[in-house]
Structure 1
């Protein structure tokens, strides 16, 4: 009984942290891209996030191996002697780099609440990649949930909400395109990384280290291509404030915590977390950015939350639900 209680408490802890990180990250990033006067380079923020995640992963691997000598031996085996594995993990590194940079573009042009709702399009993106890359099947209810989610996002985007306290010019269309690219990247990279994890017994932290090492190279190259001249002139950390470092810290924590959440929580809990993050982001956007809520936004958000819940139902519950619906449709109509 005690074990069950501890397990439940730990799952609730995971749920709470994941919700707060997701909601706070979008709101804080939105603040740094629309309210701060000196605009920092988004590419450098993405790069330094990869560095921090690598350091944290090394710390976790050190804890698991138990000694510095074992850590060095593990790194030599999986890094120095495994260039093919590094190359394999460079693919999701590149895709995640694009995704993270698109998040900055999206939140520079869309409110945090709108972003949080629209970003749930990662569910159909992930579903499609799962079917194509892992040969899994989705239930009828899950496919219906995917279409419901898309309808909800369309309602949210139908009549754009306005934020009265934003100090920069915005391009909602550019923001939506950026989210579209981000969700496609999220679906592919997530499923690809899952496939790599399950193809061998290599530690999760080792895989993370391989991916983050590639990620640092990819994002550093992105800094050079996109903002190289300005970074040389103004400095790598130009425009960084405590708020920017806060965003970088949340991104680093969120990236590592995702693996813990996937391991210890189920789809229902992740669905509730996403719905709670939408609510928190909406409230924060009203208070901080003067967001004006529309009826289409409320309707779309409710549809998205319902679809997330039904998509995450366990297969057993989904099968029962579909069986009951089928039997009901076969019943003859009642006499009037």
Structure 2
């Protein structure tokens, strides 16, 4: 039997609905703005620098929101007591670093519509991982939605005006990087939720946890930024550099890349 659906369970307050709508709007506009910033499919700026500035901005906003109700020295006190959480947030920070940079890479290979349809596959992976990790069964209508979403993605991408799209090496590489981005988002989201609800971060203020993750993200992106700046002379663009690095690490492993 199909379970009855109650919108109150999904949006218990008006604020939660507004946050949901804003999240969808910002997500869609992010992809469109990134695509519009390209010059004939090429970025004329350093994409890692943009992500670094974004992480700094998020860190600053989290700090301001925390200081609105708490003193500054409480951050130091909580960090001393829960310093291990900073290291735990390195995992989602690395995954989000990969996700954010691959967003620019994949938007240079796919049009926004295809990109967003592919990106929805993370819902499927997240649902499966979430069910296995948190032991919460998905309803039949949720599984049906995931199946329909998968079929829609396959039809949209394989079907072209001239028939079935040919699977060239470049196209397969783009699909591989798209899958890595989806997987990174899925694992980071589930891991982050575990830290917030059941892990060591359950007793720590949410804004402090955000600051930990953004701080770790800044470190990860800074390392990537140094790598891009150092090796950029050997590649035609930052996109080519990042794509080659990702493919090499997948095929040959870290020590052979």
TM-score interval (norm. to shorter):
0.7 to 0.9
d(CA) in 2 for partners of 1:147 and 1:95?
26
Q: How far apart are residue 85 of structure 1 and its match?
A: 0.8
Q: Residue 64 of structure 1: SS of its match in structure 2?
A: coil
Aligned residue for 1:104? 104
Aligned residue for 1:72? 73
Aligned residue for 1:264? none
Q: Which has the larger radius of gyration?
A: 1
Structure 1's unaligned 5+ residue stretches are 1-6, 163-170, 232-336
When residues 132 and 84 of structure 1 are mapped into structure 2, their CA distance, relative to the original with a 3 A threshold, is same
The answer to whether the aligner puts 1:31 opposite 2:36 as a matched pair is: yes
Q: How does 1:230-241 map to 2 (within 5 A)?
A: 230=232
Q: How far apart are residue 201 of structure 1 and its match?
A: 2.5
- The CA deviation string for residues 207-247 of structure 1, in whole angstroms up to 9 with x for no partner, is 1011111111111011112333549xxxxxxxxxxxxxxxx
Aligned residue for 2:175? 176
Which of these residues, 219, 222, 229, is aligned with residue 221 of structure 2?
219
- The CA deviation string for residues 80-138 of structure 1, in whole angstroms up to 9 with x for no partner, is 44331111111100111011111111101100111111110010111122022222222
Asked if structure 1 preserves the Cα contact closer than 8 Å seen for 2:37 and 2:43, the reply is no
When residues 8 and 197 of structure 1 are mapped into structure 2, their CA distance, relative to the original with a 3 A threshold, is closer
Aligned residue for 2:196? 197
d(CA) in 2 for partners of 1:108 and 1:161?
21
d(CA) in 1 for partners of 2:188 and 2:178?
15
Give the length in aligned residue pairs.
Answer: 212
Asked if structure 1 preserves the Cα contact closer than 8 Å seen for 2:41 and 2:108, the reply is no
Aligned residue for 1:140? 140
When residues 214 and 8 of structure 1 are mapped into structure 2, their CA distance, relative to the original with a 3 A threshold, is closer
d(CA) in 2 for partners of 1:144 and 1:36?
36
d(CA) in 2 for partners of 1:38 and 1:116?
19
Aligned residue for 2:86? 86
Q: Provide the aligned C-alpha RMSD in A.
A: 2.4
- The CA deviation string for residues 140-159 of structure 1, in whole angstroms up to 9 with x for no partner, is 33222222111110011113
| Moved >6 Å (runs of 4+) | none
d(CA) in 1 for partners of 2:194 and 2:20?
24
Q: How does 1:42-81 map to 2 (within 5 A)?
A: 42-65=47-70, 70-73=71-74, 75-81=75-81
When residues 198 and 15 of structure 1 are mapped into structure 2, their CA distance, relative to the original with a 3 A threshold, is closer
Asked if structure 1 preserves the Cα contact closer than 8 Å seen for 2:62 and 2:207, the reply is yes
- The CA deviation string for residues 300-320 of structure 1, in whole angstroms up to 9 with x for no partner, is xxxxxxxxxxxxxxxxxxxxx
d(CA) in 2 for partners of 1:148 and 1:138?
15
Aligned residue for 2:254? none
d(CA) in 2 for partners of 1:57 and 1:8?
23
When residues 15 and 85 of structure 1 are mapped into structure 2, their CA distance, relative to the original with a 3 A threshold, is closer
Aligned residue for 2:230? 228
d(CA) in 2 for partners of 1:15 and 1:132?
25
Q: How does 1:108-119 map to 2 (within 5 A)?
A: 108-119=108-119
When residues 11 and 137 of structure 1 are mapped into structure 2, their CA distance, relative to the original with a 3 A threshold, is closer
Q: Residue 109 of structure 1: SS of its match in structure 2?
A: coil
